[in-house]
Amino acid sequence: MMRIAAHFVMIAVVASLPLVGGVRAADDPRELKWADLMPPIEPQPKKPKTFFSGATPMGDNAAAGPPPPLKEGAWMSQKRYQPGQNLPPRIVTALNGQRVKIGGYIVPLDFESTTVKEFLLVPFVGACIHVPPPPANQIVYVKSKDGFEIQDTFEPVTVVGTMKTETAFTGIADAGYSIDAERVEHHAE
């Protein structure tokens, strides 16, 4: 009886490992796509709209008027608009603690010359720099203990490491996920 129970435990352990080339491997990271970082959207009940619904075209802040002008050079410390910034980020908590592999583009945060130690990983070139940041669940804050050399900030990279589902607040954007990177790989598109 003990031998049969041990056999079923072994089958359960092997069955829980990810498939890699038809063979299951315990140490391979889970490959993520950016869509995997977004939880499913829960359907919201629709409210009937009427022509005279009482909504103001300018939103709730229309009466407040335009914001006051910023002092010269103060725009860098101003928090930039991020979709859904008034709500907690919608993240996939099941990813917490998982060893993952995800590709994207870097927005350097902590660097010395061409060595980057901390950066934001984003799904498309120019996110957070030339356009408003994507939602927090589409930004990953990455720490690389030893850093890595970059040739071009527009070059795609792949990050392998342990995912955490904790919000990271940076001066550029809020990230819904963090990764302690084991390695950062450059690759051509």
- Please tell me whether residue 107 adopts helix, strand or coil conformation: strand
Give the pair of three-digit tokens for residue 177: 């996920």
Q: For position 53, what pLDDT does the model report? A: 60
- Considering the entire predicted model, what is its pTM? 0.64
- Identity of the highest mean pLDDT range in 78-82, 150-154, 163-167: 163-167
Per-residue pLDDT band for 8 (boundaries 50, 70, 90) equals very low
**What tokens does 30 get?**
């889970």
**pLDDT score of 42 more than 60:** yes
Please state the domain extents for the chain: 28-38+71-189
Tens digit of pLDDT for each residue in 94-142? 999 999 999 999 888 887 888 888 999 999 887 766 677 888 899 999 9
What's the pLDDT at 14?
A: 41
Identify which has the larger pLDDT, 187 or 121. 121
CB 134 within 8 A of CB 168: no
pLDDT recorded at residue 9: 37
For domain 28-38+71-189, is the CATH number 3.40.190.10? no
Q: Flag whether pLDDT at 1 surpasses 90.
A: no
Taking residue 150's Cβ as centre, other Cβ atoms within 10 Å add up to 19
Biggest CA-to-CA distance, the chain: 78
As a 3-state breakdown, the chain gives helix, strand, coil percent values, each rounded to 5, of 15, 35, 50
